[in-house]
Amino acid sequence: MKNCFHSTMINSNTLSLSKLLLFCSLFLLSQSLEFTYNGFNNSNLDLDLAGATIVKPSGALRLTNKSHHVIGHAFYPDPIPMFNNGPNASSFSTHFVFQIVPSSSNRGGYGLAFTLSPSPRFPDAEDGHYLGVFNPSNHGSSSNHIFMVEFDTVNGYNETSDKDGNHVGININGVNSSASKPASYYVEGTRAKEEEVNLEGEGPIQAWIEYDGLNKVINVTVFPLRVSKPPRPLMSESIDLSHVLVKNVYAGFSAATGHDSSSHYILGWSFRLNGNADPLDSSRLPVVPVEKPSSSNVKVKRALLATFSVGLFILLVALVGILFYRRVMRFEVLEDWELDCPHRFKYKDLYKATKGFKESEKIGVGGFGAVYRGVLPAIGAEVAVKKIISNNPLQGMREFAAEIESLGRLRHKNLVNLQGWCKNKNDLLLVYDYVPNGSLDSLLYKGGFLTWEQRFNILKGVASGLLYLHEEWDQVVIHRDVKSSNVLIDRDMKAKLGDFGLARLYDHGKNSHTTNVVGTIGYIAPELTRIGKASKMTDVFAYGILLLEVACGRAPVVHEMDQNVILVDWVVECMQKGNIFDAVDEKLDSMYVAEEMELVLGLGLLCSHPKPEVRPSMRQVLKYLNGDELLPLFDRLSSAGSRRLDEISSRLLALGLSGSISTTTWHQSVGTMSSSSFDSGRS
């Protein structure tokens, strides 16, 4: 369907054949879904990360650090069809290498788990024994539909079934293991001889999990990286996952700490549906240095007490010296907010990376300042350095701190990744991953060309990023400046939403207290100009304008013949005249999928509705774009505009999209449209 051409007449037989071919290709793809990660390259990583999870420069995926009471998740981003062979869950195989580094000489905690679940998100999940997947209210509920293999390093939640802290367990819908054994492996060439595997502190550990969908058997094998795969699994249990899993599941890992803590790493991962997963290449796996736990004893404590007064005196002298040195040398003292933010780069390193912020390295300019391309040897990658310039130093610092606070902790494949920052006197700099294809607006308007397939995927990517901001992160994030110039396009033509200088955060279930009007003309929701209160729906409005902009190849407000032509009103006019495809970007030259174009234009009008209560949520938007639900605006419009005008208008009036504009009063052409459209509630 992606290669079909829109024309005046569409041959129904050709369309049906194309749909059949698409269905067959998707079916064959689902039969052999597989992926392999021999280490995790941050620049190419497409995993869905949440919580404390980050990718280290070495390529190791760290689920949690040694902080207490934290949770980390890492999931393959696409759902896996588990029932493509009928009513029985499909066979699968997965191989991964993990490493657990305890925080002290005592046992750490609490372990990690491989998980198959209906969603990569676990609302209200708790740390500790619940491993970031369950909580006391849903633990053990059959409605969870979760299969989990845990690699635990403390005594289990249920002491009677998980007596050994160093154990492997198979769990269904809760943290009570239906089967559990101490971590060990069978030595090749011997009978019933087992060697213990210390899950934490010993080094990298391999795990194989294999499910036979025909015989309904789960095999779990665990053994050190230096050892070949044992001849028999540690556990082989009869379990029918057909009664546990839903149709589409997400595969990934969860880890948690509690009163005790450890760093939990995944070094490599492979997976295959209906087949054997590819073995990982140990020579390509990243290395995690084993941290030696700190130790203390009575003698050390006594020595510390005896020298406390001397140490205190030295510290006071050093503090006075540092303060004097910084005052004389004009070094800045870190403020409180700076201590909790991501990596701080040295100004001299950024200056060198951008060749002294040379004009030839400049890749973008905006109201905030300029963006420069640079190469940082410290991380071995290209970066984009955003240099903020503000006439109001206090406001500039607020926006700078807001962007670090929000973007610095967000991790999603459709959001720009913040590498770090720098504050040197009045220079405020943010360091991002370099996105080579520039911004969406430059590709739309400045000589570039985007196919319809690329445009449609970009719009879905932005929607996925906004859904993460609104509903799937720890707090609600309102972007407040969604527009085409803030959407960057990477090497794979995937969208990454950036520029969080105006973003605001608040807790789920609370209301935003933001009351000042900010944003870009053409994308600002009408209620924002009246009450000045930003919300999820103001982001949805701006996204609706973006939908229309990408489909039509026109800016939200175009000045033509001394008049302001408002994009939304222009699309409504085309629809009321009976052929919405008149609004489509001429550069596409009819090379688009008609049904998708109808969807994007109709959804753009719905999202940019003057009344916020009519607009859909970003979760609903993504369902429309993915084809999971039908957009209520259209049944199907004729590509030739043969539907009667009153039929089309009735659809508009049913949703209130036409507002005060009626077919009897609409008589102005696009060329004579005035800015009075702003007065009707669109801006």
In angstroms, the CA 177 to CA 421 distance is 45
Q: Are 518 and 482 in contact (CB under 8 A)?
A: no
The length of the chain is 683
Q: Are 189 and 170 in contact (CB under 8 A)?
A: no
Number of H helices, E strands in the chain: 14, 29
Q: Which positions make up the binding site? A: 387
In angstroms, the CA 488 to CA 439 distance is 4
The residues, any chain, with a CB within 8 Å of residue 122's CB and separated by 6 or more, are 73, 132, 133, 134, 254
Q: 């993990």: which residue's tokens?
A: 98
Q: Which residues, in sequence order, are bridge partners of residue 370?
A: 365, 387
In angstroms, the CA 624 to CA 620 distance is 6
Q: What is residue 322's three-state secondary structure?
A: helix
Would you tell me how many other CB atoms lie within 10 Å of the CB of residue 544?
Answer: 24
Q: 């009344």: which residue's tokens?
A: 611
Q: Which residues, in sequence order, are bridge partners of residue 113?
A: 150, 254
Dihedral (CA of 561, 524, 575, 618) sign: positive
Question: DSSP states of 366-422 as a string?
Answer: ETTEEEEEEEETTTTEEEEEEEE--SSHHHHHHHHHHHHHHHTT---TTBPPEEEEE
Closest by CA to 121, choosing from 66, 178, 53, 176, is: 53
Helix, strand, coil proportions of the chain in percent (round to 5)?
A: 30, 25, 45
Residue 37's H or E segment, with its range, is strand 34-37
Closest by CA to 425, choosing from 492, 347, 503, is: 347
Question: Which position among 441, 481, 490, 499 bears the catalytic label?
Answer: 481
Q: Which positions make up the binding site for ATP? A: 387
Closest by CA to 656, choosing from 680, 638, 673, 628, is: 680
Would you tell me how many other CB atoms lie within 10 Å of the CB of residue 297?
Answer: 8
Degrees, nearest 5: CA angle 302-303-305? 65
| 481 catalytic residue (yes or no) | yes
Question: Which pair of structure tokens corresponds to residue 61?
Answer: 């995926």
Q: What is residue 673's three-state secondary structure?
A: coil
Active-site residue list: 481
